[in-house]
Amino acid sequence: MPTDSRRGSVPFELTAAQRRYFDTFGFLHLPALFEKEARELDAAFEEVFANAEHKRLEVFEPVHFGERRLILPVFIDKHPRLAVLRDDPRIVGIVRSLIGADSEYAESDGNLFFCDSSWHIDSYGAPVDRFHIKLSFYLDPQDTASGAIRLIPGSNHYQDEYALTLRQAFSDAERLSRELGIEPQEVPSWEIESKPGDLLVWNYRTIHASFGGGERRRLFSISFREPAPRE
């Protein structure tokens, strides 16, 4: 098991098996890694969203079936309890294990979902030729009935024919139904049930979705990337 540097002299890092799992499937679920801090993170999240001075983006995108989502950019810097996560030894250890010591911070965002999310990859502000990872904190229990995130293992290998075929089929719900004969909710996938205090680490290119989350599903994420190639 990884060692937390708050409790000893050995820095936190992922095991070789965890790194291989991430590279193979495109995600990693770390249960209870922030269990002790879960209530503090919950309270800080609510304080940030309650502050009317913080500009929110209200979007109604096709990927969310035209339903409402609130996004708050530069999220963790808006509260001291959240800002320290960027340098938390667990976060640093995970990022170094997957990207290396020269990784770059690629901002954070807070989200309130009043919607489902259909199948997609994360690409906004993230060129596909650069490796990006996201570390996500879901602040509510997530299961099949409450919007647990669904991922398609191996779709992180975005240049493979399999991943390309999926992205083409997921370009819209009508095409998915026509080409595969199923609805978005019926796509075979891996569903991650989680509790507050768990951490989900995933490749930006891993195809993912969420269904049945109901009102006000809460999430904030911190992103990192590999450095830009030198000219």
pLDDT tens across 77-97, in order? Answer: 999 999 999 999 999 999 999
Query: From start to end of 60-151, where are the E strands?
Result: 69-73, 104-113, 117-120, 132-138, 149-151
**Percent helix, strand, coil in the chain (nearest 5)?**
30, 25, 45
* pLDDT band (50, 70, 90) for residue 10: low
Q: Is the per-residue pLDDT at 6 higher than 60?
A: no
- The 10s digit of each residue's pLDDT in 26-68 is 999 999 999 999 999 999 999 999 998 999 999 999 999 899 9
Rg for the chain, CA atoms, rounded: 17
What is the crossing angle of helices 16-25 and 89-98, to 10°? 60
Using CA of residue 112, residue 114, residue 118, residue 123, what is the dihedral sign?
negative
The reply to whether the predicted model has a pTM over 0.95 is no
Q: Which of 138, 132, 158 is nearest to 200 (CA)?
A: 138
Average pLDDT, the chain: 92
- The 10s digit of each residue's pLDDT in 201-216 is 999 999 999 998 778 9
In whole angstroms, what is the distance from residue 140 CA to residue 138 CA?
Answer: 6
Going along the chain from its start, the domains and CATH numbers come out as 16-225 (2.60.120.620)
